[in-house]
Each structure stands twice: as structure tokens, then as C-alpha cells.
Amino acid sequence: MSDIALAFFWHQHQPYYPDDVTGENPMPWVRLHGVKDYYGMALHLLEYPAMRCTINLVPSLLVQLEAYTHRGASDRLLDLTRLPADGLAEKDALALLDQFFMANPDTMVRPHPRYFELYQRRALGRNSAKDALRRFNDKDLRDLQVWFNLAWIHPLAVPQYPDLAELMQKGRHFSEAEKLHLLSVQFDILKQIVPLHRQLAESGQVELTTTPFYHPILPLLLDKKFAREAMPDIKLPKATAGYPEDAALHVRRAIAKHEEVFGQQPQGMWPAEGSVCQAMVALLAEQGIRWIATDEGVLTHSTQGFVSRDAKGYVRNPDHMYRPYKAADGGRELGIVFRDHALSDMIGFHYQRNDPVAAAEDFIQHLYAIGRACSNDGQPALVSVILDGENCWEYYPGGGVAFLRALYDRCTRSKDIKPVKIGEYLERYPPRDTLPHLFAGSWINHNFSIWIGQEEDNTAWDALHRTREHLKQRSAELGVPSPPPPAAANQAVAAAPQPVPQTVGAFAPAAGVAAPVDVTERFRRAWEELYIAEGSDWFWWYGDDHRSAQDELFDYLFRKHLQNVYLLLGDQPPADLSRPIMWRRRRAAHTVPRSFLQVKVDGRQTFFEWINAGHYTCQNERGTMAMVTTGPIKELYFGFNLDTLFLRIDCAGPAREELAHYEVRIGFLEPTGHDLLIAPSRAGQPLQFRMLREGMPLEATGVAAAFGQLAEIAIPFERLALKAHQAFQFFVELREGSQSRDRAPREGAICLTCPSPEYEQIMWDV
């Protein structure tokens, strides 16, 4: 039995959204996550002084926070909020209706009656903004302006500003003065974020770390061929060479920025996307970085599978999993820790569906299980839980406040669990084992397939390469250093950039003539645009791995940063940068049944029974986050005849084995409150199931289920009180005790309509 050193590592990051050539910023996420998560997560720590953790603050985030708080920066949605509701142009009113519901409907909209009323009136997915606008008057639009901004403020901030509580209580018919006061509160909160983190660091409660400046994937900047270490057959861009000088610059500038903001050099680093390789060890160590972190999948491949998980998710050789290591290269070395991706994903994706106290207790019990599996060799087992510190909380009721309070309370009261800062742990228990070779991979599937290899990814990399080559060539022609020296001591954008006249041939000094100062400054800014485009976030959205409602905007911003390089040089951007790289249509979350099904509920794999069914493959619906662990559910098929809804659950192995320890819940969002619960199967015993409506027993006549090679379930529409043409929404969930362990779909629900006798004819004509 080993004690547990629990290392929470919260990664706080946003890509660099502003277009510094035009002076515009189309994205509000630095501001909104600022007043919600960056501030709220720090307030949680103030509530629990005994809590220790590590927080990673990416320089591209810090620079944008400074722009809001010190240079009066704005964003498109902030500009829309400031417009008087009674004088809106039609295009601005339509923009409000399209963009001011960008919040999780269940946790950030529905709890606020007025906001939910406006949400229902908008009828997203059923009406265009133009169609919906006729249902909104000036007061409605002003209330929408207020509620969008109010819903994004962290619940712990509300008691600090009594005016916010009064606005929430008032609920509707806000004045312009109240709206503008809300925005002033937002800026007051934004101004407190950095000082509060500095305070937590100086008190010894938190260790602050950094990431290469614009969040690039260092291995791919060093050499794109590192992608082949995990994926030998991957198709790479045409230009495979790397830019090691750019990689070094991102590291140096990150360290300098951190020291400027927080008064001391960071000791630790979260490489962007947890991406590592052997070649970056010396680079980071030479700059004074003492430790880094990545995912356990990299450890598995760095140890040739000695540390890994079995088919059930149990860790092989846990003593070697829950300890730090050293990575060494060229006489330099770094400490390195590896995240437990199962525990990290529990917080990121699963606990949101559970009672917060029960979820916190479940987490603690997992830690105790790790402690029992590890021997006590004189030092506590290091359990690293690393995930985004902002994106998951909007899926938790109440912003995750109840869960984090319960979690921090238990972590600080347990005698066997000690929350630690990673650097502090490494000082007390230095790594004893050196990895023979640090496998090149990231925190997602121990490879780089999210960011390189697909056609869109490779097109983006080649566009970046051509732009960089053009910039180098023009620098040589004009005798400008490549890149020019930084404009400020912090080696980052230090002042509000001025829009650049977008004219071609703006300057062309004669050969042998030194470039004037303004030319050098333009080249410096051109390199800055290139470094921004090297960030991982743009490549995250290319390919078919992730999607969001703003995919096209991310594509536009990436290409705009490359276009800006040419514009700053007075050159015409190539035509291909005006065309979208992202050519795919958004994937449907699921298909729909094509005709009526005739299913014998026996749990056997009978292909033709389900050939016309709707289909959902378990995937990541949450575009800003990725779940590394996989649950038992692999695929879900669904369909119906006139009388009955049929469901089929496919698992990696036989459903009778994979689902044996879970209660299967078929939950209905429409009709509201209906549930079918199928108890865990017992050998030789028939399945037990119950139907409920709003928690009360419901007649289950006609319901059938069988768990064999696959799971098949039949639910008469009569039991759900559904009639033809009536919409219904459902999900399938696996529960273990009180805890949700898997869900299909992972977010949202399967949306269908109860069929009429003409259904097959209608689908035939589609």
C-alpha cells in the first residue's frame, strides 16, 4: 500500500485570435473563459488553502488578457454587446441570434428562465436567424445581450459583485446602463486573473508553468518526419523539413514572457498537446526547463509496452506508471511525468453526469485503488491528473462548483492522499529511472494524427511552408535579418498593433541599401504572423477528427495570418490563401433509419435485420477537447416499425460480457422524464428491467431486451406515449452503482420522429 501524491495540472490555453493587421478579433473566448474559468478555478483554490496544484498558462493567452485589460482590446461579440438594442442594424440583430446562444444549453442556458425562453424562441436548428428575428423585439435582444455575457461569469464571482446577483434576480427587461455595467464588471474580473495567479504562486499554493509561445507542436516544428515514429505509413506534407530555429524561439519567448509576468522563470512546461520527442530534451533543458509532462501512452511506447493497460483498463506494472522519469539527450536531462488518462477523462467527460459528491468520492476511491496496487518503496505514488482547465466545466451543472468543492475537500482531508505541485514533488523525490528513448507522440493516441497526415492538415502545412520560404526570400532581398530582432524586452507583441495599409509593392529598397526602420518593423510583424500560424490549434480543426460551429472561422483565421505575412511585406498573397482549406461538409452526428425494421430481439448478429437502421459511432462531439479513453459502447444502431423503437448496442467484445457489470439506461429527453433501466445481467438469470416516468414506475408491457453477441432492445411507442410525427430524443448510458461510465452519444441525444405509415415512402423519395 502506497500513499498518493496527487498532482492536478490544469492547462489554461487559448490560441491567438486577433488579426493584428486589420485590428479585428472575431472570437470572444479569451474574455469569456477569462471571466468564467481562469478566474473561477483560482477562486476555488482560495477556498481550500491546503490544496496544491500546478497551473499552465500559455503565453498566447496571457498576451490577449493583457490586450483586454491594458490596451482596450475588444472582440466581435463584445462590440455587438455594446450596440444599443433599439438601434441595431438587421445584420447585427441576426448576428446576435446566431452567436449569442454559444453556451451549453443544458447547464448554461436552461437554468436561467429568461435566457431559456429566448433560446426556445430562437428555435436553433429549425429556423434561420432571419426567420426568428420577427419573434424578437428590442427588449428581447437587449436581454439576450445581457444573458449571454452573464451566463459566462463564474458562479463564484457572483457573490463578489452584488450587482450581478441583482441582475440575475431581475431576469429580464434590462436597461442599457445595466448592460454596460455588466461589461465593466467583466473587465474588472479580467484584471484580477493574472494578479490572483501570481498571489497563489507566491503563497506556495500553486506552481505556474508555461508552453511554447503560440502553442506549436515542437516535434513537428523540429522535423515533420517525427510523425512517422508512431505512424510509419503516414502521408506527410510535400515539405517535410522542420524549422528548429522557430521551435527554439517559441521556447525562449515563452520563458521570457512568463518571467516578465510572474517575476520568475518557470521550472516546468506542458509542451503543446503534450507533444514530445527525444530531440526536444536538450532544447528545453538548455533554456532552464527542469521538467515536462505528457500522456501515459507515450510512456507505454517509451517502455516498449512494459507500462500499459490491459483490455479492461487496468495498469500493468503500476509501480512503474505512478513515478517520475528522466529523459536525457546530449548530456542534458529533464524530469518527465505522465498523466493518468483514465482519471483525467473521468473529470473531463464523465463526472458531469453524476451527483457531484458521489463523483468526488468515486475519484477518491480510484486513488485508493492505485495506492493498494502500488508498493511502498519509500515515496508516495505520483498520480498526475492533467486536462484543460476551462473547457469541461461548461458541461457541469453550476459550472462544476459543487464537484470541485467536494473533490478539493476530500483531497485535502484524506490522510493517505496529499495534493502536490509537480516541481515540488520532483525536488523531494528526484526521478531514479531514465527512459532509453522518449517516444515521439502527443497526449492523444501517442501520435500526431490530429495535426498532420490528413489532406487538409497537409495542405495547411504546405501553405505555411510556402509562406515561410517567401518571407525568408524577401528578407534576403531587402537585407533584413531573418527574423528581425524583437521589438521589446519580452520578445513578444508589446504594444497595440496598428492596422497596415493593404497595398502591394509598398516598399522596395534598392540593392545594397539598408532597410528603413519601418521596413524592419514590418518584417518583424510578418514573422510574428507566421509564428502565430505555427500554433497547433489551427491544425486541430482540419481533417475529420474534430468539428465545431466555428470551423470555417478557424480556417479563415489560419489563412488570414498567412495572408498577413504577404500584406505586411507589401506583396500580393497567393490566390490559394483566399480559398478555404477546409472543404468537407460537417459530419452528421448520426444517420437516420431508411425504412422499417423487423428485428427479433435475441442478441444475435443478424446483418439484414439492421441494414436500414440509423447509426451512431462513438466519437468526440466536444470539439475543443479529446477523450483518450474508450468506453464499452462502440456503436449504436436504432430504428423502428410503426409500433416499436429498436436499439442495438455493439461493444468491442460480446455484449453479454462487456455489459455484465453495468446497468443500461435508455434515457429520453423527449418525451421528458422517461427511462428504461436494464439491471446488470447475472449468469443464467433473465434480464431485469424497469420503466420509469419522472422517477415513478411505469407499465413495461411489451418491452424486451437480449444481451448476446450484441445487445438488442425493443420499446413500444405506446409505453412512451408517442404518436406519429412526434419528435423524440434519447441516449444510452452505462451506469456502475451511482456513476455514469459511458454514454452514446457522448454529448446530446439521438433525435428522431415517431413514424407514420407513409415513412418508408417518404424516405424512398428523399
**Last residue of some domain: 578, 593, 621?**
578
- Please check whether residue 225 lies inside any domain of the structure: yes
| Same domain, yes or no: 303 and 348 | yes
| Same domain, yes or no: 217 and 308 | yes
CA distance 253 to 490: 7
CA distance 615 to 594: 11
- Minimum mean pLDDT among 56-70, 473-487, 724-738: which range? 473-487
| Same domain, yes or no: 277 and 307 | yes
Determine contact, residues 23/72, Cβ cutoff 8 Å.
no
Q: Where is pLDDT greater, at 669 or 114?
A: 114
CA distance 527 to 505: 18
Query: Would you say residue 765 has pLDDT above 70?
Result: no
CA distance 399 to 160: 16
pLDDT of residue 25: 97
CATH code, 335? 3.20.110.20
pLDDT of residue 566: 97
- Please check whether residue 198 lies inside any domain of the structure: no
- Please check whether residue 227 lies inside any domain of the structure: yes
Q: Where are the alpha helices (DSSP H) in 569-679?
A: 655-658
| Same domain, yes or no: 573 and 615 | no
> Residue 253 has which C-alpha cell?
519567448
Neighbours of 334 (CB within 10 A): 24
Q: Where are the alpha helices (DSSP H) in 493-650?
A: 517-533, 536-540, 551-568
pLDDT digits (tens, 9 = 90+) for 492-549: 444 445 555 444 444 444 333 444 558 889 999 999 999 999 999 999 989 877 666 6
Residue 724 backbone zone (phi > 0: left; psi -120 to 50: alpha; other: beta): beta
User: In Å, how far from its chain's centre is CA 178?
Assistant: 32
| Same domain, yes or no: 534 and 646 | no
| Same domain, yes or no: 344 and 479 | no
**Last residue of some domain: 389, 405, 434?**
434
> Residue 550 has which C-alpha cell?
466555428
Buried b (16+ CB within 10 A) or exposed e, 410-438: bbeebeebbbbbbbbbbeebebeeebeeb
Query: 404 is in which domain, residue-wise?
Result: 4-13+205-434
Determine contact, residues 471/563, Cβ cutoff 8 Å.
no
Determine contact, residues 277/219, Cβ cutoff 8 Å.
yes
Determine contact, residues 483/250, Cβ cutoff 8 Å.
no
pLDDT digits (tens, 9 = 90+) for 168-220: 999 999 999 999 999 999 999 999 999 999 999 999 999 999 999 999 999 99
> Residue 658 has which C-alpha cell?
462487456
> Residue 674 has which C-alpha cell?
422517461
The sign of the CA dihedral 404, 405, 409, 410 is negative
pLDDT digits (tens, 9 = 90+) for 455-466: 999 999 999 999
CA distance 247 to 223: 10
| Same domain, yes or no: 503 and 648 | no
- Please check whether residue 493 lies inside any domain of the structure: yes
CA-nearest of 419, 485, 387, 431 to 204 is: 419
What is the phi/psi pair of residue 205, to 5°? -80, -30
Residue 702 backbone zone (phi > 0: left; psi -120 to 50: alpha; other: beta): left
What is the phi/psi pair of residue 81, to 5°? -65, -35
The number of distinct structural domains making up the chain is: 3
CA-nearest of 247, 318, 241, 304 to 438 is: 304
Residue 749 backbone zone (phi > 0: left; psi -120 to 50: alpha; other: beta): beta
pLDDT of residue 760: 74
| Same domain, yes or no: 630 and 757 | yes
Give the count of alpha carbons within 13 A of 115, CB side only: 25
CA distance 551 to 624: 11
- Please check whether residue 37 lies inside any domain of the structure: no
Paired with 666 in beta bridges are: 676, 732
Helix 90-99 / helix 138-151 crossing angle, nearest 10 deg: 40
Strands 325-329 vs 381-388: parallel, antiparallel or unpaired: unpaired
CA distance 64 to 528: 14
pLDDT digits (tens, 9 = 90+) for 34-59: 999 999 999 999 999 999 999 999 99
CA distance 585 to 565: 29
Query: Would you say residue 484 has pLDDT above 80?
Result: no
CA distance 173 to 624: 34
CA distance 341 to 324: 16
CA distance 607 to 595: 15
pLDDT digits (tens, 9 = 90+) for 325-344: 999 999 999 999 999 999 99
pLDDT digits (tens, 9 = 90+) for 366-387: 999 999 999 867 899 999 999 9
| Same domain, yes or no: 311 and 411 | yes
The sign of the CA dihedral 240, 244, 245, 249 is positive
CA-nearest of 281, 213, 626 to 443 is: 626
* Residue bearing cell 522519469: 325
- Please check whether residue 318 lies inside any domain of the structure: yes
> Residue 565 has which C-alpha cell?
505575412
- Minimum mean pLDDT among 96-105, 199-208, 287-296, 683-692: which range? 683-692
* Residue bearing cell 445581450: 145
Buried b (16+ CB within 10 A) or exposed e, 736-764: eeebbbbbbbbbebbbbebbeeebeeeee
**Last residue of some domain: 525, 558, 578?**
578
Mean pLDDT, range 126-149, rounded to an integer: 96
Give the type of residue at 128.
S
| Same domain, yes or no: 492 and 552 | yes
- Please check whether residue 46 lies inside any domain of the structure: no
Residues whose CB is less than 8 angstroms from the CB of residue 766 and which lie 6 or more positions away in sequence, other chains included: none
The string of DSSP codes covering 71-140 is S----HHHHHHHS-GGG--HHHHHHHHHHTT-S-IIIIITTSHHHHHHHHHHTTTTS-HHHHHTT--HHH
Question: What is the pLDDT confidence band of residue 588, given thresholds at 50, 70 and 90?
Answer: low
Strands 433-434 vs 325-329: parallel, antiparallel or unpaired: parallel
CATH code, 625? 2.60.40.10
pTM, rounded to two decimals: 0.89
- Please check whether residue 119 lies inside any domain of the structure: no
> Residue 194 has which C-alpha cell?
493574472
| Same domain, yes or no: 500 and 621 | no
Give the type of residue at 272.
A
pLDDT of residue 507: 47
| Same domain, yes or no: 346 and 467 | no
> Residue 483 has which C-alpha cell?
527574423
Determine contact, residues 218/535, Cβ cutoff 8 Å.
no
pLDDT of residue 158: 96
Q: Where is pLDDT greater, at 378 or 476?
A: 476
Buried b (16+ CB within 10 A) or exposed e, 274-285: bbbbbbbbbbbb
Determine contact, residues 222/247, Cβ cutoff 8 Å.
yes
